[in-house]
Structure 1
Amino acid sequence: MTNSLDGKIAVVTGASSGIGLSIAERFLAEGAKVAVFARNAAALAEIAKGREDSVLVVTGDVTSQADLDRLVTETVKRFGGIDIVVPNAGIAKVVPFEQSDAAAIDHQFGVNFTGAVQTVRGFLPHIRKGGSVLFVTTFLTQVGFPGLAIYSASKAALKSFSQTLAAELAPKGIRVNSVAPGPIATPIWGGIGLPADVLQAVATQVTARLMPGAFGEPGDIAATAAFLCSDGAKNIWGQEIVVDGGYTIG
């Protein structure tokens, strides 16, 4: 590791597993202190074990404004100003179009878009000049997968939002970017709502288009996130970096 985030204070939501966990671990390895937020208190406690001076654990749900307010309050009380916000918490559910009623749409948009946006809005007064906001979108904003229209649309909205927010926050010296994971081996795949045999068939089909010949790892996204939030990326503003094993150009 390069200690590229030495002295920085970061917030990562959805930090209990998958990409969020990997980002939190990478940030800590790069020298940052991190506030980790998710619903799974036991998993968050594991992150903090043995490094309580560097980790703040806050449990809650990004769809709860009270929980987000508490995250902001506890983080600022513990660490003061903030340098990095990664509103990573997200869900993906397969919902056929004919079943995409308002409740189904609100469910995924509530976490993936509104939850992410409100997380950043809460921390905005406390992000220091030179700070960074990093949204987590998806390669599915560029390709179509049946049943994932709501999920993809929620992330497409987030991509558009991040580009506009980059222009709005630039005068404050705050950079805004996003990282778009491709097929990554995380627990989210097992929770999208497909039967095991169908999920395996989809995975086989997807893998055939990946240039490395395998799904990516959460650490691939974490490494990109660490770079984008470091001073080494000081001239990268309003960009979406796609980390997808070449899927979208195959």
Structure 2
Amino acid sequence: MAPKLAGKIALVTGGTSGLGRAAAKRFVAEGAKVVVTGRRAAELDAAVAELGGSAIGVRGDVSVLSDLDRLYETIRVTHGRLDVLFANAGGGAFVPLGEITAEHFDRSFGTNVRGTLFTVQKALPLMAAGGSIVLNGSMVSVKGVPGFTVYAATKAALRSFARTWAADLRGRNIRVNVVSPGTVVTPGYKTELGMTDEQITEFEARAAAATPLGRAGTPDEIATAVVFLASDDSSYVTGTELFVDGGAAQV
């Protein structure tokens, strides 16, 4: 069977760990040449080394427009086009209602919403017919989780983006979809959410008990869904949201 992304040029923002790194590895395995971004040089170098000769890294922050400009200029010079964009970069934190600060709100919306918007908008000149844009959402956009007021709202915004952008790009044959993971333990639980190992174990156990499949997901399971949305296997799919959550937000 031919690789699903053979000959494709793919970008994964926030591709140095977790879901982004898993997706980048899947993209390479499926024949794509991959560009990954990250804010920290050491993690970016390690990711590129693991991905091998089919990948390059560009250090940057999606909330900084000049970093995005430099990213896309690198892609233009190196590859000349972009076929697949996985807009994965983002983050969040547990902050209960009553304790939300303006700084927390601005940081979350600045990266997750503003950053995603301009990541996609600035990619469009490089994308031709047949391109695929996948946004990394979350099941919390439809399922209330205490302390996730702002994070959940940013992910709901991404769902709205996909609907509008699918309509905006009518006639260009560029598809826009959202993958919405359930509970998947990644390094971000420590680096972004500030959870301890004990807290992560407890959180995962509670999530598993509330999930019809009885467990948390894995980064590779999310990456497999991203490959589906990125590839021609989903050629008649746009403007939709694919939940990969073990049924947690569905039943």
- Mind listing any 5+ residue stretches in structure 1 that lack a counterpart? none
Aligned to 2:237: 236
- Cα distance change of structure 1 residues 197 and 52 upon mapping to structure 2, 3 Å threshold: closer
Is structure 2 residue 169 aligned with structure 1 residue 169?
A: yes
Higher mean C-alpha displacement, 57-66 vs 19-28: 57-66
Helix, strand or coil at the partner of 1:247: coil
Aligned to 2:185: 185
Distance in 2 of aligned mates of 1:168 and 1:241: 20
Distance in 1 of aligned mates of 2:12 and 2:194: 25
- Cα distance change of structure 1 residues 145 and 39 upon mapping to structure 2, 3 Å threshold: same
Identity fraction in percent: 39
Higher mean C-alpha displacement, 238-247 vs 41-50: 41-50
Letter in 1 for 2:234: A
Shift of 1:199: 4.4
Shift of 1:100: 1.5
Higher mean C-alpha displacement, 45-54 vs 31-40: 45-54
Letter in 2 for 1:83: D
Distance in 1 of aligned mates of 2:118 and 2:91: 16
Give the length in aligned residue pairs.
Answer: 250
Letter in 1 for 2:216: F
Aligned to 1:80: 80
How big is the alpha-carbon RMSD for the aligned residues of Structure 1 and Structure 2? Answer: 1.7
Aligned to 2:213: 212
Is structure 2 residue 111 aligned with structure 1 residue 123?
A: no
Helix, strand or coil at the partner of 2:10: strand
Distance in 1 of aligned mates of 2:188 and 2:220: 15
Distance in 2 of aligned mates of 1:120 and 1:230: 18
Shift of 1:7: 0.4
Higher mean C-alpha displacement, 16-25 vs 198-207: 198-207
Shift of 1:106: 0.8
Aligned to 1:248: 249
Shift of 1:101: 2.6
User: Pairwise mapping of residues 87-166 of structure 1 onto structure 2 (< 5 A)?
Assistant: 87-166=87-166
Distance in 2 of aligned mates of 1:226 and 1:178: 12
CA offset digits 1:187-242 (Å, max 9, x no partner): 12233135655544333221101233221000011001101111111000101000
Is structure 2 residue 45 aligned with structure 1 residue 35?
A: no
Higher mean C-alpha displacement, 203-212 vs 214-223: 203-212
- Cα distance change of structure 1 residues 206 and 41 upon mapping to structure 2, 3 Å threshold: same
Helix, strand or coil at the partner of 2:242: strand
Report runs of 4+ in structure 1 exceeding 4 Å deviation.
50-53, 194-199
Distance in 1 of aligned mates of 2:167 and 2:73: 27
